[in-house]
Structure 1
Amino acid sequence: MTLTSPETVGETRGLPTMGPEGTRLLRLLDDTFEGWGVAAGARPMTMPPLLPAAELAKLDYYDNFPHQAVVATSLDLERRETVPFSADTGRFPTAALEQAALGLPSASCYAVYLTHQGQSVADDTLVTICSWCFRKETHYEGMRRQLGFRMREIVAIGAQQHAEDHLADFTARIHAFAAALDLPLRKEAACDPFFDKGSSKAVLQRLTPVKYEFLYEDLAIASVNTHRNFFGDRCDIALASTGGPAFTSCVAFGLERWLSALTRRHGSWESATQAVLDANARLRADASVAAGPVI
């Protein structure tokens, strides 16, 4: 793999590499989005990069997203002697592998729901995480479309009103941040098949969208998603106040996609980084003025 310059992104089969300036901007953005979550009361957590395929299957993941699914397994040490790695194709034959029991999730939030399964939660629970995510794509393109990428999420688990307010609050934050960045975004309804296509929830999803994306030009760089009580029911996450299944919603930021949008808009790593620093300073000043003097 070769980088065209020390600061531009290189790629091998959708796996990104970036230099120090890109890394600095990615960390600045992630700190910004994590800070929003923490300020709202979210608990920062760290989730594993792999999840049991059986647990993801419980959530209909492989029925609803088979086109994106990536799984992992280990070598079968006996069979690989007769079916070795092929230097010509760059692959291990499937006969040399054990059955795949691990999944590489396409979104950070799945681990949050599985981590909370079987638990009771407060009505206003918030969690924020940043994880590597993986999606099989028909093609890969720089920072825009990748096999492996980082996603920061802020996840609400609790009462229905809490889940709805979470999305409204962060929709406003995204719009304000984009305006401060001089990054024109448009919000569009999207359709991810979280629910069985023939179920009543799937019919409701078609009538009332559960996902909205924020696009710069043709690129979705953030989304707000409501799942109603789907994950609360499947993962047996109960509300401590009522005992009923929790509602969930999440706000997601594709970090490398933000890098792509910002460098396209502002022209360079340096200009994009300065735009984020200036936007954060402007929003802090606006919040200070809105809060008024401390008496």
Structure 2
Amino acid sequence: MSIPAETRTPPGPIDDRAGLPALGPEGTALLRLLDETFESWGVSAGARVMTLPPLLPTADLARLDYYDNFPHQAVVVAPLDLERRESAPFCCETGCFPCDALQPAALGLPSASCYGVYLHHQGQTVPSDTLVTVVGWCFRKEERYEHLRRQLGFRMREIVALGSKEHAQRHLETFGEKITAFAEALDLPLRKEAACDPFYDRGGSKALMQRLAPVKYEFLFGDLAISSVNTHRNFFGDRCSITLADTGGPVFTSCVAFGLERWLSALTQRHGGWEAAAEAVARARSVL
């Protein structure tokens, strides 16, 4: 049954508290400038530019242990079950469809852009020095949302290495240095810290392994991680059957990630507004 027009909620801005803020012209221009900067770093290093789907099959993500490793971030998508829609209608009070009105959720919203890269290359043989760069919408369920800092939906630029162990490690070293140099040119104080996934038992074997041989470093502005460098060893190469052209063994992978809205938050906080932040980025680009 349709909702009478006089009782419908009038249209208005998307609720920032729900983790879905909008950007005006100044913010949009700065986000594009940052993304063009990070993309150019990848292209200059030989990365292929790709566009990947915003949704991925949950079966594929489950095969990558995504729902075991990141259950607290997971967001899935389900279409309406049209046969049950009348018996389980949309609830105006909660603003939700009940579970009974939905078909099984077979699609997931990824929390990072790189998952699509590995799934795209599954079953393929690649050169030992392969690089790919993508930007995509990513989604994370958070305990709370903060404007530009923590969002349900945000954009992430990634530069991904697939190939030899040496190639994957060199990738992180090269782009870690680029992030540091860019931050210095921006007068943006960042600190680099080893990170441990929060859902691991701090006394467990996975947490111990990460402390002994960190797989992730974050670049933080205050308490906010705006970039990270991540090594996955040969995990994705093995799970996705991506092999090296010269050895036939599984590829090693690593990725460098830039949370674009988080960079906006850090830059505007540091420089005081959109215009000053954009000028700082333009200056930094001119000297690097």
TM-score where L is the length of structure 2: 0.92
Amino acid at match of 2:108: G
* Pairing 1:126–2:131 present: yes
Name the residue aligned to 1:291.
none
Alignment counterpart, residue 187 of structure 2, candidates 165, 172, 182: 182
2:66 maps to 1:61: yes
Given residue 221 of structure 1, which amino acid in structure 2 is its aligned partner?
A: I
In 1, Cα distance between equivalents of 2:84 and 2:148 = 37
The 3 A distance-change label for structure 1 pair 198 and 46 is farther
Aligned match of 2:259: 254
The residue aligned with 1:269 is: 274
- Aligned equivalents of 1:47, 1:194: Cα separation in 2: 28
Q: How does 1:1-295 map to 2 (within 5 A)?
A: 1-2=12-13, 11-192=16-197, 204-283=209-288
Kept in 1, the 8 Å contact 2:161–2:255? The answer is yes
SS of corresponding position for 1:171 = helix
Distance 1:169 1:146, change over 3 A: same
- 1:43 Cα offset (Å): 0.2
Using the TM superposition, give the Cα deviation of residue 11 of structure 1 relative to its aligned residue in structure 2, in angstroms. Answer: 1.6
**Are the counterparts in 2 of residues 194 and 227 from structure 1 also a CA contact under 8 Å?**
no
In structure 2, distance between residues paired with 1:275 and 1:218: 22
- Alpha-carbon distance in structure 2 between the residues aligned to 1:203 and 1:155: 26
The offset of 1:202, in angstroms, is: 6.6
1:205 is displaced (CA, Å) by 2.7
Which whole-Å deviations, capped at 9, do the CAs of 1:154-183 have from their partners, x for residues lacking one? 000000000000000001000000000000
- Could you say what secondary structure the match of 1:16 adopts? coil
Deviation at 1:192, TM superposition (A): 2.9
Shift of 1:199: 10
Q: Which residue in 2 is equivalent to 1:286?
A: none
The 2-side partners of 1:118 and 1:100 are apart by 25
Residue 206 (structure 1) shift: 3.4
- Cα distance, 1:243 vs. partner? 0.3
Q: Secondary structure at the match of 2:21?
A: strand
| Residue in 1 that maps onto 2:8 | none
Q: CA RMSD in A?
A: 2.0
1:214 partner amino acid: F
Q: Classify 1:100/1:185 alpha carbon distance in 2 versus 1 (closer, same or farther; 3 Å).
A: same
Question: Which 4+ stretches in 1 moved above 2 angstroms?
Answer: 192-206
Q: 1:145 to 1:195 in 2, by over 3 A?
A: closer
Is the partner of 1:110 in helix, strand or coil?
A: helix
Percent identity, aligned pairs only? 71
Q: Deviations over 1:262-284 (max 9, x none)?
A: 0000001000000000000011x
Equivalent-residue separation in structure 2 for 1:197 and 1:279 (angstroms): 39
- How far has the Cα of 1:198 moved from its partner? 11
Alignment size in residue pairs: 277
- How much does 1:78 deviate? 1.0
Q: Which letter does structure 1 place at the counterpart of 2:137?
A: W
Q: Residue 62 of structure 1: SS of its match in structure 2?
A: helix
Stretches of structure 1 that go unaligned for 5 or more consecutive residues are 4-9, 284-295
Aligned-pair CA distance for 1:220? 0.4
Q: State the alpha-carbon separation in 2 of the partners of residues 194 and 43 from structure 1.
A: 33
The residue type paired with residue 47 of structure 1 is L
- Contact kept in structure 1, 2:196 and 2:207, CA below 8 Å: no
